[in-house]
Chains A and B, each alone.
Chain A
Amino acid sequence: MHTADPHVESESLAVEAVDVRHAYDDHVALAGMSLRVPQGKIFALLGPNGSGKTTLFRLLATLMPLQSGELRVAGVGVASVMEVRRRIGIVFQSPSLDKKLTVLENLRCQAALYGIRGALLRRRETEVLQRLRLEDRKNDFCEKLSGGLKRRVELAKGMLHQPEVLLLDEPSTGLDPGARLDLWEALNEFSKAGLSVVLTTHLLEEAEKADQIAILSEGKVIAQGAPDRLRSRMGAGLITITTEDPHAVCRRLREQLSLEGQALNNQVRLQSDHPGPLVSQLLDVLGDQATSVSVGRPSLEDVFIAETGYQFWSGAS
């Protein structure tokens, strides 16, 4: 299991979690989660439903009090609720816009909540509307905007008070591919300007776009790092053998080829830096036991399977 990079200084962390635990009645959502998120990066919390990412988001957003452990955002403990809130911008999964108000009126509501007024308000309004290309829509009622535009207004709201850390909960939910592209361009732009972006996602392809990710499962971080580095840990290739008896195949691989396969449903998975030559060997050894043998490059899902032993979408078995 990969934990946080110990070389990252505590002061330069956007988020630092140490042994964070949280339970809803009898259900444990976070089971001792530790995490170090560097500043100025786009950081994705990737996990299937029930992995604990929404609970962590709620704790970071100060929507719930911390039950156990340590959790700091931009160097400030979440117990200092108001200090943390001044430092974070939040984009929720469900829209937080007032549909009966215009884009500009929504921004002014946000400004009032964060104490921005006068000349500063006018400057920040202009800046965020320009940066998110919303100037020509500023007088439109939010109920008439498309999903992508609404998400941009949400981003504008979140950025209005110049937060140090921008938190986004499943930001791509409900967006078409074009709007997702827009969203990620905006996030990259903010990140280049020095903003730390922390987002939750259950979409593997979305996590691939982040600078760093933490893969969550059952309330814990099971792997953390750059997506490329996580994949490279799996070797250059991944061989997938489809079979009716995966445990028998694993046994045979161990006995005859000294290879450790991972049984999963009706498959056996093998990591290898040289998968090509191994395929013919496997076909010879397994014969009719293998229905098919395929070779591919490891994905984040493969990292997840290797660490947890179950598929990303199936949940713990």
Chain B
Amino acid sequence: MSILTSNTSDSLEATDAVATSAPEPILNGRPSGWGAAWMLARREWVRFFRQRNRVVSAVVQPLWFWLMFGAGMRGSFSWTASGQEGFFEYFLPGTIGLIVLFTAIFATISVIEDRREGFMQGVLVAPVGRWPVLIGKVVGGGGIAWAQAVLFLGLVLLFGTAEPSWNLIPAVGLLAVMSITLCAVGMIVAWPMTSTQGFHAVMMLFLMPMWLLSGAFSRFRRLSDGGSIGSSILHWIMRCNPLSYSMVELRRLLYPEVVLSGNVWGPGSSVNWFVSLAFLIVSLGLAGWLMRGSRRADLI
């Protein structure tokens, strides 16, 4: 097996050539952080498509969720003034949000795997700093999440649950914002972690409730005079959740003709976009801040 042994004429020649040649000069190319970020983003895609189970589950699982919950809870509540749209329609943006969330989680959990499998240590000592790691991960993972969400949206249009319209263009843009934001949130959680178990714990404690309390699954009720303290607390929790605003806007873009019923809370488009973009900037900024300097997790 030994290929490096010098008992072939080729290798002897190679060794002689090396022995007599002068030391080669160091390469003078200046590494580009953007080049490194693009490589890391492309790597996410390559790895994704080489793991068939991820590709299949990414498409089938949300579809299954949507059909199962949509059929099971059909007619459980009405959320529009006309009363014609049911849970199937209400849960559609929530399902798309779930796709983005799950894919972002799987993309960022790979940071922990990259650490454990060793790939990350080579990246951390490269002369490009750490921001390309963040950009590469959020662009790569966010791109996968966005593509899956758009694919699912296409399937939904085929089923006729939503109508094609020009509003789908800003909807696709909003999905891009959500994808990158949730990847950045995933990076905030994953970067200091040394085990995937720890990530799953935080996911169940923080990320899943963030999705559940965004109005993705249940009606986002207005505050009313006769409401209980519990429903008021829930209202404010949902209102403080930045993902809620993306959900409201996504629902509005998918069903532009629908008028919300009186008891469903829904801020205006400008507020929704402002909060969604602010969430993106804050998440990216916090992730970048957390990733600077060396951490104990770097030394695994």
**Cβ-defined partner of B14 (8 Å) among A105, A130, A146:** A130
With both beta carbons as reference points, the residue of chain A lying nearest to B21 in the complex is identified as A193
> C-beta contact mask, B183-226 vs A, less than 8 Å → 1, else 0?
00000000000000000000000000000000000000000000
Contact A178 B23 (CB under 8 A): no
Interface positions of A from 250 to 285, Cβ below 8 Å from B: none
A189 adjacent to B122 (CB under 8 Å): no
Nearest Cβ on chain A to B109's Cβ, whole angstroms: 15
Interface residue? A87 (CB, 8 A): yes
User: Interface size for chain B: under 10, 10 to 19, 20 to 34, or 35 or more residues?
Assistant: 35 or more
A192 contacts B by Cβ under 8 Å: yes
Kindly list chain A residues whose C-beta atoms are within 8 Å of the C-beta of B39.
108-109, 112-113
Which residues of A from 69 to 123 have beta carbons under 8 Å from B? Answer: 81-83, 85-88, 90, 92, 94-101, 105, 108-110, 112-117, 120
Known: A85-B125, A193-B24. A112 touches B38 (CB 8 A): yes
Task: For B18, give its contact among A110, A146, A193 (CB under 8 Å).
Answer: A193
A204 close to B (CB within 8 Å) = no
**Residues of chain B contacted by A108 (CB below 8 angstroms):** 39
B5 near A109: Cβ-Cβ < 8 Å: no
Known: A112-B38, A116-B27. A82 touches B129 (CB 8 A): yes
B22 contacts A by Cβ under 8 Å: yes
A112 to B32, CA, bound (A): 8
In the bound complex, CA of A186 to CA of B129 (Å): 30
Q: B82 contacts the other chain (Cβ, under 8 Å)?
A: no
Q: Which of A56-64, A228-236, A238-246 contacts B (4 or more CB under 8 A)?
A: A56-64
Q: A85-B126, A99-B117 are in contact. List 12 more A-B contacts (CB 8 A).
A: A63-B125, A88-B125, A96-B118, A98-B43, A98-B119, A112-B35, A114-B29, A116-B27, A162-B25, A164-B26, A193-B19, A195-B23
A40 & B29 in contact (Cβ 8 Å cutoff): no
Residues on B with beta carbons closer than 8 Å to the beta carbon of A96: 118-119, 121-122
* Pairs A–B under 8 Å by Cβ, sample size 13: A65-B293, A65-B294, A90-B122, A92-B122, A108-B39, A112-B36, A113-B36, A113-B128, A117-B29, A152-B4, A157-B122, A162-B26, A178-B2
Q: Does A38 contact B (CB under 8 A)?
A: no
Q: Nearest CB to that of B24 among chain A residues?
A: A162
Interface residue from B2, B46, B121, B298 paired with A182 (Cβ < 8 Å): B2
Do A194 and B36 form a contact, CB below 8 Å, given A96-B119, A114-B29?
Answer: no
B142 vs chain A, min Cβ distance (A)? 19
Interface size classification for chain A? 35 or more
Nearest opposing residue in chain A for B32, CB measure? A115
9 interchain residue pairs of minimum CB distance: A194-B23, A115-B31, A112-B39, A133-B3, A113-B126, A96-B122, A85-B127, A182-B4, A115-B29
Nearest B residue to A196 via CB reads: B23
Q: Which residues of B contact A63 (CB under 8 A)?
A: 121, 124-125, 294, 298-299
By the criterion CB–CB under 8 Å, are A182 and B5 in contact? yes
Chain B contacts for A114, CB-based, 8 A: 27, 29, 31, 126-127
Interface residue? B261 (CB, 8 A): no
Q: Does A132 lie at the interface of the complex (its beta carbon under 8 Å from any beta carbon of B)?
A: yes
| Closest Cβ–Cβ distance, residue B22 to chain A (whole Å) | 7
Considering the complex, give the chain A residue whose CB is closest to the CB of B19: A192
**What residues on B are CB-neighbors of A194 within 8 Å?**
22-24
Q: How far is the CA of A166 from the CA of B99 in the complex (A)?
A: 44
A162 to B26, CA, bound (A): 5
